[in-house]
Chain A
Amino acid sequence: MKDRSAIGFVGLVMVALLVMFSDGINLPFAAALADQEVAAETVLETTYPPAPQLTESDYPRIGGLNGRVVVWLVAQLHLWFAALVLAVPIFVLIIEAIGMKTRDKRYDDMAYEFIRVSITAYSLTAILGGLLIFSLAIFYPDLLQYLVSIFNETMLYYALLFFAESATLYLYYYGWQWLQGGNKKWVHLTLGLLLNAVGTTLMFLANAWLTFMMSPAGVDVAGAFSGDVELAIHNYLWNPINLHRFVANIAFGGSIVGAYAAYKFLSASNAQEKAHYDWMGYTANLIAILALLPLPFAGYYLTAEIYAYSQQMGITLMGGVFAWLFIIQAVLIGTLFLSANYYLWCGMGRSEGAIRYNGYVKYLAIVLIGAFLVWFTPHTLVLTNQELNALGGPYHKYLGPLGIMPAKNTAVNIMIIFTFLSFLYYRRANKIATVSWTSVGNAAQVALFSAGIFNIFFLGIYHGYFTSTVYKIASSIPQVMTTLIIIVTSIVIDAFMYRGAREVAPLRWGRIPARAQYALFLLAVSFTWLMGLMGYIRSGIRQHWHVVNIMRDASPDAYTPTMGYAANIVSIGVVLFISMVMFVFWLSQIAARKTAPVGYWKSGPS
């Protein structure tokens, strides 16, 4: 109930602020009250002013607060929670549907527990969203007013959709036990679908505002709005960001609920609880990995589109001061892959049948670490003249060639393939295939992996080092296709080969070392830090523009901060987020506790 009143209040505040900031520019609310025809004509005839040219005095200073840091932290915290509450219902819906299909209630119970985690996070998302609007209104009033003048209608729809999201989420959550069995379950599943549709639309709308700031459309060179809001929404980078965020949110959401399961596992007091939360943690890790595998490709697509939109922005992103942030990103993604794989390898201890595959784990680890090191190798080193002379140039004689993109593309594809191989071993841990063509199937998979890996290396080495620049970049697409073909074909072969497979040893849920749970925490913290870092880069490539090439940032903080400073702000944000998440986890602990206060209550009528 408390959650709902908080969200209702935040929703009202959002609407009030939108009305306040849209006053005098375009009044869809007033138009709705007036005669429809007249209002339509008024809207058509509305001329919009150019984007304001700001000076330093246009940015209010409140106490000793740094407006950029406040907005940065609040926006990032809102984004983390929003990503979580948008992602969780996606896989909850899928798990619920699996439970419905298999009639295995464990899936239904797990899905319910996942959504319970996000329900508390939902109110925090709403509160932080309201705080973000307040922060923008206080520290960047002209920017907010300009954006409202263009997107005011969509912002109103956003506020309305926010109420719809709240309504469907509460119906979905509170109606879970009520809408069970038969047609009721179908109604519940439909509610889940509706919840996801509304949530995804909300995200797409918010994405339109931020991508407009990166690649403005529907405005003239001075920033005067043409009146075509569809054009402003469907700006150049809107869909690439939509796709990237959709996939990344699922991976992030999986990692956070994985941390929840790990926390509950470590706090569990009996074997049954441990088994339940072990299974939950495994499922969450699987979700995170499944979304993590296509994420680099979504990232390549986004980067390619940034280059296509503006060569200058692309160079700022990959070749300028932000280039070194991608080395930090490589460390974080390497951590993600290694912790996810480590968790899988620990999980193989659940069944004695996995002993057959234990010997392979060290080779998987060597390949993954090798690929990570290639990804981590920088292209050029910042050196003094003496160091430059000593090294004989800016590139190391042997390691230099590993710094260019073809080497990194090869490394990331190998990492993905070997992570998939880890999963394949895990999947086979307690089973033996019984079909007659097992040896042929295994040989086909070995051939598939071998040929695919050879092809990825060939494409990376030949096109990367022996052809012109055009092919260096273009070769990444057939590399990605090879990886996808390996994964999809292998899954198909495995699915048929292990149909009716014999269990060699039972899978004992709960039999997993505590350190594996810390791998899940590592996954969650790394993902959170990574999202914070990439959020900074995405926003930072606008440089000294609020809206690129349209509305200049004239505040004293318009400069690009150093990487160390940015990393410290991101770290503070992660500490705040993890603290809030831990609070949510703790709430779930105390919600299950009951105290019987002996002699406290007077005895009532029986």
Chain B
Amino acid sequence: MRTFLKVSVFALIVIALFAGFANFGVPRIEPALPPVEEVVDVGAMTMEDFTALGKRIFDGKGTCTLCHTAMGGRAPVLDDLSTVTSERLKDPRYQGEASDVESYLYESLVAPSAYVVAGFGKAGSSDSISPMPDVRGGGIGFSEAETLAVIAYLQDASGLDVTVTIPTEAEGGIEEESEEEAREPFEDPEEIVEEFVCGACHKIGEEEGEMGPDLTQIGSIRNKEYLRRSILDPDADIAEGFEPEMMPTDYGEQMYAGELEMLVDYLAASKQGDQP
């Protein structure tokens, strides 16, 4: 019985030590809550509202701009849709059934491999398989109305007439994810750098982006005011050798004030000899 008790007490002490370390030995981080879905009534929308909604989905929930951007080179830029659509529909490699811009865009969203633009296919597929997912599933999860809203936006952005019909409410509403409301502030600068994908264009931390200036020692040559201005108004000062209008201009809206300051401090502290 004595052995039983001694061993039990020993085990309890070990468990308590591990639990204590997990509770008090590492920073207390409150994970962000899951995104909240709000139902938007599309039935009451004008075409202008519907197109604007398409833009919000394109930039937000759809995460389309992660790839469809001139900077990344991971997917074709979606401008001049009128010309490219007619060319692609005539291309012998085209395997779909679309007949016009609207049906081509729809097909591209739900069956992206029907036509893969040369150079943008999955590695080893000889441009026969698109790396893009079906937007109705996966982490994107568009409803029918959301898919149509994006098509409306893309048509509008290319200067074409918007041909889609706004679905009635009965055909399905739109659930907009309002992550901003639920988002907890990021607690360390590296998380900010990671979440805002700074490394896609800049050399920072372990990332090796080349589209923007090297930020690994930026604190040696720029002060905090300059750095803050560069985040809030990226085209105010353009570093030598880089193009203007490359960096998104809405980071001031996306970042909390505390996050912005943390990032500025972090960049200002990145000096020669450090390894951010």
- On A, residues with C-beta under 8 Å from B are 220-222, 262-263, 266-267, 312, 315, 319-321, 324, 327-328, 331-332, 379-383, 385, 388-389, 391-395, 397, 400-401, 404, 468-469, 472, 518, 521-522, 525-526, 529, 543-544, 549-550, 553, 558-564, 566-568, 570-571, 574-575, 578, 582, 586
- On B, residues with C-beta under 8 Å from A are 3-4, 6-8, 10-12, 14-16, 18-19, 21-23, 25-35, 133-134, 136-139, 141, 187-191, 194, 206-208, 261-262, 265-266, 269-271, 274-276
- Known A331-B18, A582-B8; further 7 A-B contacts with Cβ < 8 A: A321-B32, A382-B187, A397-B274, A521-B10, A564-B22, A575-B15, A586-B4
Assembly CA distance A575 to B275 (angstroms): 43
Contact B34 A563 (CB under 8 A): no
The list of the 7 closest CB pairs from A to B, nearest first, reads: A221-B137, A567-B22, A544-B34, A393-B269, A560-B31, A382-B27, A571-B19
Assembly CA distance A388 to B263 (angstroms): 10
Contact B262 A522 (CB under 8 A): no
Assembly CA distance A596 to B187 (angstroms): 68
Known: A388-B266, A521-B10, A567-B22. Contact between A394 and B276, CB under 8 A?
A: yes
21 interchain pairs (CB within 8 A)? Answer: A221-B134, A327-B26, A328-B22, A331-B18, A385-B262, A388-B266, A391-B269, A393-B266, A394-B189, A394-B276, A400-B274, A468-B208, A469-B207, A518-B10, A521-B10, A529-B14, A549-B139, A559-B34, A560-B31, A567-B18, A571-B16
Residue of B whose beta carbon sits closest to that of A397: B274
B137 proximity list for chain A (CB < 8 A): 220-222, 549-550
A397 proximity list for chain B (CB < 8 A): 274
Contact B12 A575 (CB under 8 A): yes
Assembly CA distance A525 to B7 (angstroms): 11
Assembly CA distance A267 to B134 (angstroms): 63
Residue of B whose beta carbon sits closest to that of A379: B190
Known: A389-B265, A549-B139. Contact between A563 and B22, CB under 8 A?
A: yes
Contact B11 A525 (CB under 8 A): yes
Assembly CA distance A304 to B188 (angstroms): 25
Contact A529 B188 (CB under 8 A): no
Assembly CA distance A568 to B28 (angstroms): 14
B139 proximity list for chain A (CB < 8 A): 312, 549
Residue of B whose beta carbon sits closest to that of A328: B22
B271 proximity list for chain A (CB < 8 A): 392
> Would you give the shortest CB distance from B114 to chain A, in whole angstroms?
15
Contact A568 B14 (CB under 8 A): no
> Would you give the shortest CB distance from A406 to chain B, in whole angstroms?
10
B188 proximity list for chain A (CB < 8 A): 380-383, 394
A518 proximity list for chain B (CB < 8 A): 10
Known: A385-B262, A578-B11, A582-B7. Contact between A321 and B22, CB under 8 A?
A: no
